[in-house]
Amino acid sequence: MQRCRSAFGSITVEATILLLEHDAKMLLGARGLTVPEGVLAAADTMPEPTGDGPWVVKAQVPVGGRGKAGGVCVVQDRAGLQEAADAICALTIKGFPVRELRIEEAVPDATELYVGLVLDPATAEVVVMASAEGGVEIEAQAETAIHRRWARPDEASLTAALAEVAGALPPNAARAVTEAGARIVAAWLDLDATLIELNPLFLRADGSWIAGDVRMDVDEGALPRQPGLTALLDDRAAAYPEAIFKRDNGFDLVVVDPEGEIGLVTTGAGLSMQLIDEMTARGLKPYNFCDIRSGGMRGDPARLVENIRRVLEGPNLKCILVNIFAGITELGEFAGLLLKALDELGEVPVPLVVRLVGNGQDRADAILRASGRGLILERDLDRAISLCAAPEVADA
Ligand code: GDP
Ligand code: MN
């Protein structure tokens, strides 16, 4: 699924895993980045915190802006910990209910810097950024306060860019950005990251630094060559259901609206997003995002079975739209797999609108018609969407 979460927005990267702060800190902490000592917690399972306080209690959701949403809270004593945990766990931040917390030792009296590496998909280069004015207002900073250089994704180029952006900062900030930046450059290259941001990177009066917040996204396509990340996902499976689902099933399905009415069986991440936008603009309620990757099904209906089974879990589901625009996929073969999947599923309690366009479309429609399953076939996208709004009129 395409997502975006740099502090500066506007970057979309396909197939990326948004790590939670706790996991990013564990990963980078093990690679020499100094981070506050901390533990993972939930409202009903509060482990012994490290240190004597004060602590900071932090919502673990894969989006920025937690501070402004009330998801980050500094507390002075143990009594305050549970209270803060209860309050934060009651929040939903940008659509993500808070299920986990990180409780860590607070960093008092420090300046907030920013250093980040963000993939620029337009150029396949890395934007290396630093600022002496980090923190929650980073987006509002004057352009001149943020120093940027574009680098190739190799150590020499990244290190040179980092030295240039650090060189624009006051001496203590420059040293902190250089040292912390070197760790994130190494981690970027080792772990196939697409984004790493330290914001704030705390700078103390004595010149020492510690990463107050870490955001890290990694390339999902790199998982097969990243045993460390694979182990992390397995350990923390409940925290990364979407990534685990995609890895284990070979396709992507994300519920975008649990109350949604139209289940989608679609291929192509971009096309699926467009379809969701189009439906929403027309007042319809799509249930899920989907990228079935029809090109990789290899004669096996398992993905279709799993896809349809998942969307049927939607309590308000009224209709399923199968929308495949085929380049490589032979649609006759796809139609055969769809019928096999429906056989395997038995009774499907909602109508299916099927739009198959491209290579082998006529053969596909003939196969589906001959099945006698009452599938609603429509090649025109507009009309197919209208049929999803009122599938019962299809026979008229
Ligand atoms: P974000 O809003 O999701 O980026 O969450 P952050 O972890 O960056 O926290 C937001 C803000 O909370 C930071 O910019 C700090 O101002 C404040 N904050 C977070 N941790 C600490 C801490 O240990 N000590 C202090 N004094 N402030 C903190
Ligand atoms: Mn932050």
The set of residues, in sequence order, having a beta carbon less than 8 Å from that of 41 and lying 6+ positions away, is 47, 57, 85, 100, 101, 102, 103
CB 65 less than 6 A from any atom of ligand 1: yes
pLDDT tens for the chain, 396 residues long, are: 444 455 554 344 457 899 999 999 999 999 999 999 999 999 889 999 999 999 999 999 999 999 999 999 999 999 999 999 999 999 999 989 999 999 999 999 999 999 999 999 888 899 999 999 999 998 888 888 999 999 999 999 999 999 999 999 999 999 999 999 999 999 999 999 999 999 999 999 999 999 999 999 999 888 989 999 999 999 999 999 888 988 888 888 988 889 999 999 999 888 898 999 999 999 999 999 999 988 888 899 999 999 999 999 999 999 999 999 988 889 999 999 999 999 999 989 999 999 999 999 999 999 999 999 999 999 999 999 999 998 876 654
What pLDDT score does 280 carry? Answer: 93
Residue nearest to atom 10 of ligand 1 (CA): 67
Residue nearest to atom 20 of ligand 1 (CA): 212
CATH level 3 topology of 37-106: Dna Ligase; domain 1 (3.30.1490)
CB 67 less than 6 A from any atom of ligand 1: yes
What pLDDT score does 128 carry? Answer: 98
Which of ligand 1's atoms lies nearest the C-alpha of 56? 23
CB 56 less than 6 A from any atom of ligand 1: yes
1-36+108-238 classified as CATH 3.30.470.20: yes
What pLDDT score does 246 carry? Answer: 87
197 backbone dihedrals φ, ψ, rounded to 5°: -130, 135
Q: Tell me 286's DSSP state.
A: B
3-state class percentages of the chain: helix first, strand second, coil last, to nearest 5: 40, 25, 35
What pLDDT score does 393 carry? Answer: 66
Note the Cα 265 to chain centre separation in Å.
Answer: 20
Residue nearest to atom 12 of ligand 1 (CA): 67
CB 39 less than 6 A from any atom of ligand 1: no
Q: What is the largest CA-CA distance in the chain?
A: 78
Residue whose structure tokens are 């603009």 = 281
Which of ligand 1's atoms lies nearest the C-alpha of 106? 23
- The ranges of the chain annotated as CATH 3.40.50.261 are 250-393
- The ranges of the chain annotated as CATH 3.30.1490.20 are 37-106
Encoded tokens for 11:
């970057």
Tell me the chain's radius of gyration from C-alpha atoms: 24
- The ranges of the chain annotated as CATH 3.30.470.20 are 1-36+108-238
Class of domain 250-393: alpha beta
What pLDDT score does 5 carry? Answer: 53
CA 210, CA 103: separation in Å to the nearest integer?
16
Mutate to test the pocket of ligand 1, among 56, 104, 133 (most ligand atoms within 8 A of CB): 56
160: left (phi > 0), else alpha (psi -120 to 50), else beta? alpha
